[in-house]
Amino acid sequence: MDTSLRRSHIVVVGGNSGMGLALAQELLAQGAAVTVVGRSPAKLEAAREHLQARGTPQFHQADVTSEQEVQALFERIGSLDHLVCTAADIGGSYVMLQSLERSALERAMNSKILAPILLAKYASPRMPPQGSITFVSGIAAYRPRPKGVAVAAINAALEGVVRAMAVELAPIRVNAVSPGWVRTPIWEDVAGPDADHMLAAMAQRLLVGRVGTPQDIAHAMVFLLGNGYTTGTVLHIDGGHRLV
């Protein structure tokens, strides 16, 4: 258990599902005060039911691609020690280039580039010098596949944002995790009925013999939250995907 996180106030944007939900659960187990932010009221309610046996997190509904809503969000939340954003709206952008619609591209860019910038803009003034911000990149920036032009570009851009923010916001630390293939609900949007087959095939290729779990990524985020000497870094949690 990382006692440095006990009683810290950690805001998890996207904490109502997938990796964010796993992180919220882990942080509650470590004694942190957790605020979960999501766009979907239904998913927030489901997260509330899932987490209520583990602690008493706070919940806020907001569209973090809207500057007005982000500003209002942090006015409601007040001070915080750490910010994590796992939110992404990228399912519609996993298509061949000739089929990529601008609306889907813009939704993906807004969720993974615009939203992190807005969140950091309004959260950082409310954070202590020892605070941190953590975002989520991904393997597509390093091992792109067909249909992955948009996501490869967005993840690579986000990593540039992380390095620039680490310099500008110092001593607040800014980092990212870069997951490989992880079994989360987003695969239903990306691959539909082929999701299980694709994940199983990748598991056979990976050096660790399996795809990732949300808990794998949550543990990596906990490290970044608690390690005060890590900033401007992309932590790869990909089962060796970059090597195969």
pLDDT at 1: 41
Pairwise pLDDT comparison (184 vs 152), residue with the higher score: 152
pLDDT at 195: 81
Q: How far apart are CA 224 and CA 128, in angstroms?
A: 16
User: Which DSSP category does 232 fall into?
Assistant: S
Q: How far apart are CA 68 and CA 9, in angstroms?
A: 23
Per-residue pLDDT band at 184 (split at 50, 70, 90): confident
**Of 58, 50, 9, the residue nearest 225 (C-alpha):** 9
**Domains, the chain, ordered by start:** 3-243 (3.40.50.720)
Instruction: Name, in order, each residue with C-beta under 8 angstroms of 225's C-beta and a sequence gap of 6 or more.
Output: 2, 5, 8, 10, 82, 84, 132, 134
Q: What is the mean pLDDT of residues 36-50?
A: 96
Enter the pTM of the model. Answer: 0.95
What amino acid is encoded at 73 in this protein? L
Q: How far apart are CA 152 and CA 148, in angstroms?
A: 6
Residue 58 has pLDDT above 70, yes or no: yes
Neighbours of 71 (CB within 10 A): 12
What are the pLDDT digits (tens) for 213-222? 999 999 999 9
pLDDT at 65: 98
What amino acid is encoded at 96 in this protein? M
What amino acid is encoded at 213 in this protein? T
pLDDT at 117: 98
**Of 78, 79, 65, the residue nearest 13 (C-alpha):** 65
Q: Which residues of 24-52 are buried (b: 16+ CB within 10 A; e: fewer)?
A: bbbbbebebbbbbbbbeeebbeebeeebe
Q: What is the mean pLDDT of residues 160-170?
A: 98
